[in-house]
Structure 1
């Protein structure tokens, strides 16, 4: 039995994984769908050859981080129809994961560590409660239908998606909002940060040397953003805007989706009031 490569235990009302399964060091495909697990079995960490794991249709609300230690060869992970509210950051250990499906769970967000999965090409997240997404530049298929997404992250336009499904989300609509303010009032911290950032971008060698020994300032400036209009760097005072990408010619998308709202940031009201930049303010109702 130790040489078994495929095992189907689907629909057996299991609450625990049989101890004999731990010894299946050559197992490549395991189907534990439609059982009664309330957490992912910790014995899975012993299945070092596993490539495809199906855990759909259980009652899983927790995944022990230790499980990921032994699943280095996992290519496909199916956790549809469970009760997950979060994913542990240790999921980044699944270095060979190509496809992950988490439809019909209770997720509100994704850990930033998910971006470390360099081989992840397909991600299914339909019918959760997701508000935001992390940056996953290598994705080709993304399904986030039926969530609570209003606007996509700034780097969304850099993705090379082939398929995007996002129907049944409260996406922002293209309604212009004009600025009620023209002058910017910046704090001393913001003014100082913008000056330092501009000097660093202009290759100020003395400032570069001083920065190398100041870890605290490095940490503060690591949160910088770039203005979508003028390209200048700024720190923590900005205008949050949205731009609408025409995606109908670029990828397969949800029916009737033509314009995709993507978050953008501007450094000043001057940039916001600049004509023809194609950016819209976000009104808070």
Structure 2
């Protein structure tokens, strides 16, 4: 089916001569008239100086592939919504300030390119209809925020938003379980959602040239991540499970990464809060299959939920709740990972449960000292 369709597109492609001027909408409509008889699968109106798309475009009911790149288009006519079979649309390098309402009717869109426009917002009522979309290119626009309705793009595999003004990503974006490639370089991101690890199919991630000071701990759950570019940010340390990622490429130059400069320090054992002591005791009892606490804890869902937020000591593997020592270990990237020279040694966060573990001999965890 797919092979037949692509052959049909090549056979029926219609490209117009480059004879348009900025105010030649009547000429454009006139040239569309003979095309209406042949009903081509593919139409190319790129780089024609168009300020408007003629209403006659709505009569191309069989078009699957439409190119409108490099014009001066500011909106699309309502008749554009009649293109219900449209699968590919390129309106890059135009003057759109928002996603036209007419696109809401194009529910069959699979690939949409809206790069190099003047988009400031994404209309939620348009986005919710793109349930079949797999590729979305929003590069070089003026986006500051993204709507929560991004979560409705359930089949999205490729999302690119380089060169915008995004300061954060909505947690709803992390619900795009089919996303394999995400580009958010050259923005103003200060952080990533804590739920980022739900993007477990993500393979390629571009985050260079932002303002990120840290990566979420959940990044270690992106078990398919192969390529990460985090260069030119404000990163000092990588999250705890970073070394478990199956990376093949890592780029992290131009970050103020922690340096390995050991100084001697011995700390006294701290006094834990009653809540922390009780939580550690309960979590230890839960490991004992004969423990009464293990058998009865299921009757206290609130406590179980609280304990689910616990972590394990990187040294002794005992669980802790809210009190820990943040340390760092300096790891050499796997020899199979392609890196830049700045990534010869990577500082990775490690959490220890107590000063007792920290003061124990023989480990390679270091306390973090800030100037």
TM over 0.5: yes
Output the CA distance in 2 between the equivalents of 1:225 and 1:174. Answer: 25
Q: CA RMSD in A?
A: 1.8
Report the counterpart of residue 176 of structure 2 in structure 1. 94
State the match for 1:202 in structure 2. Answer: 288
Which of 241, 244, 249 pairs up with 2:335?
Answer: 249
> Once the 2 structures are TM-superposed, how far is the Cα of residue 248 of structure 1 from its aligned partner?
5.0
Q: Which residue of 1 aligns with 2:144?
A: 61
Of 131, 154, 160, 1:48 maps to 131
**Whole-Å separation in 1 of the counterparts to 2:234 and 2:308:** 29
Q: Which residue of 2 aligns with 1:103?
A: 185
Bigger shift: residues 55-64 or 250-259: 250-259
Deviation at residue 218 of structure 1 after TM alignment: 2.0
| Cα deviation, residue 49, structure 1 | 2.5
Quickly say closer, same or farther: Cα 1:191–1:222, change in 2 above 3 A.
same
Gaps of 5+ in 1: none
Separation in structure 1 between the aligned mates of residue 229 and residue 308 of structure 2, nearest angstrom: 31
The one of 255, 267, 274 aligned to 1:188: 274
Provide the secondary structure at the position in 1 that maps to 2:286.
helix
Higher helix proportion (structure 1 or 2): 2
Equivalences for residues 121-270 of structure 1 within 5 A = 121-134=203-216, 135=219, 136-270=222-356
TM-score by length of 2: 0.72
Q: Aligned partners of 2:279, 2:196: CA distance in 1, in Å?
A: 30
Aligned residue-pair number: 284
Task: Give the equivalent residue in structure 1 for 2:118.
Answer: 36
Secondary structure of the corresponding residue to residue 347 of structure 2: strand
Q: Indicate the SS of the match to 2:89.
A: strand
From 66, 89, 111, give the equivalent of 1:7.
Answer: 89
Report the TM-score, using the length of structure 1 for normalisation.
0.93
Structure number with the bigger relative contact order (C-alpha 8 A, sep ≥ 6) is 1
Show structure 1 runs of 4+ deviating over 3 A: none
Q: 1:226: how far off?
A: 1.3
Q: 1:76 to 1:39 in 2, by over 3 A?
A: same
Does the 8 Å CA contact 1:248/1:257 hold for their aligned counterparts?
Answer: no
CA contact (8 A) 1:177 1:283 kept: no
**SS of the residue aligned with 1:198?**
helix
Note the alpha carbon deviations across 1:2-27, whole angstroms, 9 max, x for none. 32322111111111333333332332
The alignment status of 1:116 with 2:202, answered yes or no, reads no
Contact 1:238 1:266 survives alignment (8 Å): yes
Distance 1:73 1:183 in 2: 51
Unaligned runs of at least 5 residues, structure 2: 1-82
